[in-house]
Each structure stands twice: as structure tokens, then as C-alpha cells.
Amino acid sequence: MAILEVKGVNKRFGGLLALDDVNLSVAENSIHAVIGPNGAGKSTLLNCFVGKLLPDSGSILFNNQSLLGLPPYRINQVGISRVFQTPEVFQDLTILENVMIPALAHRDGAFHLAPFKSLSREHDIREQAERILDSVSLLDERHNLASAMSRGNKRRLEMAMCLVQKPKLLLLDEPTAGMSRADTNNTIDLLKTISEDHEITFVVIEHDMTVVFSLADRISVMAQGHVIVEDHPDNIKGHPKVKEAYLGTAETA
Amino acid sequence: MLKTTDNKDRLMMIAFTVAVLAAPVILAPFGAGYPDLMQRFAIYGIFAIGFNLLFGLTGYLSFGHAAFLGVGSYAAVWMLKLLSVNVIPAIIFAVVISGLFALLIGYVSLRRSGIYFSILTLAFAQMSYNLAYSVLTPITNGETGLQMDLDDPRILDAATAPGQLPPPSLFGLEMGDTHYLSFMGLDLQLNVGFYVCAAILILMFYISLRIFRSPFGMLLRAIKSNQTRLNYTGVHTRPYALVVFVISGMYAGLAGALLVCMDPLAGPERMQWTASGEVVLMTIMGGAGTLIGPVLGACIIKYFENIFSRVNDAVVSNWFSGLPDSLGDFFSAIVSPFLGSGWQMSLGLIFMLVIIFLPGGLMEGVTRLIGWLGRLFRSRNNDEDAETTSAKESSPDPHSSRPASPKES
Ligand SMILES: Nc1ncnc2c1ncn2[C@@H]1O[C@H](COP(=O)(O)OP(=O)(O)OP(=O)(O)O)[C@@H](O)[C@H]1O
Ligand SMILES: [Mg+2]
């Protein structure tokens, strides 16, 4: 069953058709990778999913419910979280606080307005946050400010911030970009464990083919706003259209 | 870990309370121990604490907070005129009215952020100023200012002697009452009005502390840090920003009411943009986002305004009278532009120095100093340890691993 159903989505930026009749069907509890050369429209597509951009036409259904026109915070509340291409964390807060905020927001449906409740009483939230931080191996640094982290660690933190909300669908925009080989492998392992342990669906945008082929259950290849192929990883590797898109040898229709 | 934060907070609360209550003793040696100025310290301290809740936590820089101070003042005078000279109804009414006013202005202004938000609040405040100055003269008494009158109804009060204006009071205790006391060679002035302001300041400081330490406070800091992330975390930020905007406006209204309770007169100049700028200055100078900083900033600015401005040329030349004439004149010539009517020059100079060397405000200086003293003290202790029991390694303090977060103090 498809958890996310994208049909005929178009998005135009001035003269540029960034998304051109995009169709995508993401199966529940799978890892769906979206690959394609720079400027293919991958991030734009994610932006349409999370309500940052409104498509010009087409439909996006999440569990058969339309996401079009919902503001980002509502889309998060229905169970979609996102890791950005450039990490978006709370720089001036500690790592622990960074994770406690989404945890609180998730537990209370939005955020309870309790100006006099002491944060130190929120033992459950704290423990939950620490458990997640442990799983991304950031527990020891939890009292440091997020601004002091490396880019790779920020991305891991952002992943923890998303995971603590137990999303049904997690969107990852290049989760391993800028990471060392070792960190990349850790991330692959982390994503694998998460997808085995939880009822969660991933949409992963990735340039690193090792990551894609070791994780994905299904791959969509995008080029110049089109999804040119959608198939099982084994069939993608030698696909002529994919080679064309990456090497740019043939003219596009 | 969090336990230690709680303990630290308790300690800070106690220290703050003691310091405020002992203000007449502490301030007397600086020539600032007289009721009028101490009341101002407390009142503008409250104003700045409230402003800091908005600016220090969320980063929304309101440039029109004096409007709420002014509205609070007018509301309080009206209560003193219509209902009773008891300050309690005046204060409550002022806080409610300024809260409603803040709700209105905040609702509109918070649709924008950054400089546009600041400009919107500034525009609203200037509008309020102009309304108070001319259009709403029946309510505000225009340029002259609103004050109590002999034929005010004061429906709750017993009739007073004819021809006498009763002063604001708290159940019979008059705000202007001062008890003179000599203590360790200091002439102390214990004033009812100051202690009313002090009690409220302590309460308002406590409320601010609780907000800082609550999940709500953490959310407000997150708004300052990254609104985009919050939106994708399921939090619609605007209602929370509006709540803190209203709380902050109520603090300002409270301060306005207290000004009136100490001296029952409200004029439009209280709403002018310079007054709005002053509270920004106080907060930044003391340390935006810190708990004590705003109070410190308020005290320093009010001290300059009241003490430095009184030093005139005669006093200055008196300082240098021990020096040869020409040298004395030379020093007087350098120093005097910064004193008397030039007090704002020295304030500006100090403000610049603080911003350049202590961007986190004076509280950053205090934190640095404490850290430096702590290290000095510890290293000396370690040296002594090393001499006596060289084997014993001083175990690292598990709490010291936390870096000095700017929000700590
Ligand atoms: N907000 C915007 N306004 C105008 N053009 C945009 C906007 N966002 C993206 N584009 C353009 O749309 C095209 C697709 O961009 P997008 O960021 O989706 O590519 P991508 O596949 O994510 O590439 P990359 O691998 O480099 O991240 C690009 O040509 C880009 O310049
Ligand atoms: Mg991209």
C-alpha cells in the first residue's frame, strides 16, 4: 500500500519548469530513494511534500489525505518529518534541548503553554531525548551548544530531532553529504536499524550510490524535472536512461 | 545536573531578594539611596525584565514598548481618580488594559519579523504618542498630562478634608512615607513606595525566572534560534510569540502604573520613541537574554540620568583643585563635557565600550569574571594540593563539563 502518492505534480519557477508532471508512489515501511543530477528538482519535490512550496498543479496524498495547502507545522503533525540539505538545528540551544523541543511538541500535539512548569520536571521527555541521542552517538556531547558541532554531527542531530517525533514518513535530503566514509557507513547502519525497528517509511535523496544501493528498496531517477525511471535497485544500475541522465550523452525529449 | 540548575536558581533568587531589600544600604554610599531614584531603579527594572522576556528570549526587537508603559500610566491615574487612591486597583487595571493593548499591537506586528516588526511597533507607539498628545485629550489631558483632581469622584474612598488631595496609598500606608534611619554611619531612607516597588520587582523577577526555565521559555529561545526548524517540527510559532509579547506588554503596563503610584502624573512624553529606545538600551547594556542583566542595565542608565547629570562645572573644578591651576583647568575641560548636561555622552561612551568588548552585555563581564576567579582559585588550590599530596588527582567536576551557556545567569 502506498503511504505517499504523488500524481502529476508541476512546479514552475519563472521560466524554469522545476517539476514536470512528477509521479511517485512510495510504499509503506519501505526506503524509497530519489536520485538524479544536480538541479534535477529533487529538493523542490521534497519542498512540495512538506508545505514549503505549493505545486502549481497535481496532487500529493499522504495516507489518502491531501497535503496541498497545509502549512508546514500541520504536515509535521500528520507524521512527516524532514532533514534538510543544509542542517537546520537550533544553533543557540544545547544538543539535548534541540531534541527535547520536538519531543515535547510531539507529545503534546503542538506545544503546551505552561509558562510556569519547570523543564527539570520533564523527566520522561529528557530520557526519551537522551535515548535517541545515544542511538546517534551524540549522548556525551548533549550539553554542548549545537553551533559548536561539525556539519556531519548537525545532520545526525537533525535526524535525532526528527526520529524523536516517531514520524510515519521521514524525508532525508542528502543525509550523508559532507560526511566522512566512516560517518557515512554509520549513517547507513543507523538508517537500516531504524527501518527495521520502527514502522517508518523513508524517502531519501542521495548522490552517494553506495548509500543508495545498500539502502533503497526502490529508486526513482529524476532529471530536469521528470521522473525518468522508477524501479528496483537491481534494474536501475545498468539502465540506459539513467546513464544518459548522468552522463548527458543523449538529448532529452 | 538539572538539580544543580534548580539549586543555582534558588540561590540566585535569594541573593536577588536580599540585594533588592537591602538596596537603601547598598546604594547609600553611591549617593543613590534616596526614595525617588530607588523607586525608579525598581520600576525600570520591571520594565526591562518584561522587555527582555520578549527581546532576550525570542529576539523580536520591539521599538515601541514605551506605549505600553504610557497606557499603563494613564489607566492607573484613571483608577486613582475614579475609584480609590489605593494603588492595588490602579495596578490591576493598568496591567489588564496594557495587556489588551499589547494583544492588539502584537497581533498585527507579529505578522512580520526582523526589522519590519521593529518598524511596526515603532509606528504603533508613535501613533499612540500622537493620540495621547492631541486627539485623545479628553482621556489623556494632552500635553499637560493627566493628574488627580480635587473633584475626582473616588467612589470607594471616604471623603477627605476639603481642599486636600489624598496621596496614593496601600491600605492607608502612603507611598511617600519615608522612615529615616542611621545605620553604620549611613543615613538610610526607608520609603513605603520603594518597598512596594521592590516587592513587585522581586515577584516579577521570580516570574521571569520561571518562564526562562519552563518548556515555554525553551521554545521562545528556539524561536530566536531557528523559526524554520520549529515550523517543520510541528510548532506554529506566532501564537507563542504573541503570548510573550502580551506578557511583556503587561510588565510595561505594570511599570507605568507604579510610576503613577509614586507620582500621580501621566504625560504623553512617557510614550515617546526615546523612552522605547531607553529600555532597549537598558536590556542590551545589562545583557539581553540573561535574567539579572536587564535590572542591572536599568539601574546603571537611571543612575547616569540622575547622578551624572547633577555634577556641574563647579563640582568638577573642585575635584581638581589640588592640582596646579592650568593642569586643573585642563582636566576639567576634558571631563566636564561628559558630566552634567553631557551625561548622555558618557552613557553613550560606556554603551559603546560594552557593546564592543562585552557583546553579551555587562552580565557577560560578570560571568567572565566569575569564571576567571574560579579558575584562579582552583589552580591555586591545585598547586597547594600538589605540594602536600602530590598523588591525589583532583577529580574533574562532573558539572563543569557544561559550557557556560549564555542563558545561565
Ligand atoms: N525557490 C526557487 N526559486 C527559483 N528557482 C529555484 C528555486 N528552488 C529551486 N530552483 C531551481 O529549480 C531547479 C531544481 O532545484 P532543486 O534544488 O530541486 O535541485 P536538486 O535536484 O535538489 O539539486 P541538488 O542535487 O543540487 O540539490 C534548479 O534549477 C534550481 O535552480
Ligand atoms: Mg537538493
Name the band, by pLDDT with cuts 50, 70 and 90, for residue B392.
very low
pLDDT at A238: 76
Task: Quote the ligand 1 centre to A44 CA distance (angstroms).
Answer: 6
**B247 pLDDT more than 80:** yes
Name the helix (H) or strand (E) containing A37: none
Residue B106, in any domain of the structure: yes
Name the band, by pLDDT with cuts 50, 70 and 90, for residue B160.
low
Query: Who has greater pLDDT, B22 or B186?
Result: B22
Mean pLDDT of B101-108: 96
Residue B323, in any domain of the structure: no
Q: What residue ranges of chain A have pLDDT lower than 50?
A: 250-253
Rounded to the nearest angstrom, the minimum Cα separation between B403 and chain A is 6
Domain residue limits at B183 = 2-279
| Residue A41 in contact with ligand 1 by CB distance below 6 A | yes
Ligand 1 pocket check: which of A10, A11, A13 to mutate, most ligand atoms within 8 Å of Cβ?
A13
Residue B90, in any domain of the structure: yes
Q: Could you tell me whether strands A31-35 and A218-223 are parallel, antiparallel, or unpaired per DSSP bridges?
A: parallel
Q: Do A101 and B405 count as a contact with CB atoms less than 8 A apart?
A: no
pLDDT at A197: 81
Angle of helix A123-135 versus helix A151-163 axis, rounded to 10: 130
What's the whole-number average pLDDT of chain B? 86
pLDDT at A171: 95
Name the band, by pLDDT with cuts 50, 70 and 90, for residue B161.
low
pLDDT at A191: 87
Residue B35, in any domain of the structure: yes
Decide: A205 and A34 in contact? Cβ < 8 Å.
yes
- Beta carbons within 10 angstroms of residue B368's beta carbon: 13
**Residue closest by Cα to atom 1 of ligand 1:** A13
Residue B329, in any domain of the structure: no
Residue B350, in any domain of the structure: no
Task: Quote the ligand 1 centre to B87 CA distance (angstroms).
Answer: 62
Question: Which residues of A lie inside 8 Å of B (Cβ-Cβ)?
Answer: 50, 71-73, 76-77, 81-82, 88-94, 97, 100-102, 104-106, 110-120, 122, 126, 143-145, 148, 161, 165
Number of compact structural domains in chain B: 1
Mean pLDDT of B393-399: 39
DSSP one-letter code for B17: H
Cα–Cα distance, B109 to B121 (Å, whole number): 6
pTM of the model: 0.88
Cα–Cα distance, B271 to B142 (Å, whole number): 12
Phi first, then psi: give them for residue B306, nearest 5 degrees.
-95, -35
Residue B128, in any domain of the structure: yes
Residue B209, in any domain of the structure: yes
Decide: B192 and A99 in contact? Cβ < 8 Å.
no
Cα–Cα distance, B72 to B91 (Å, whole number): 8
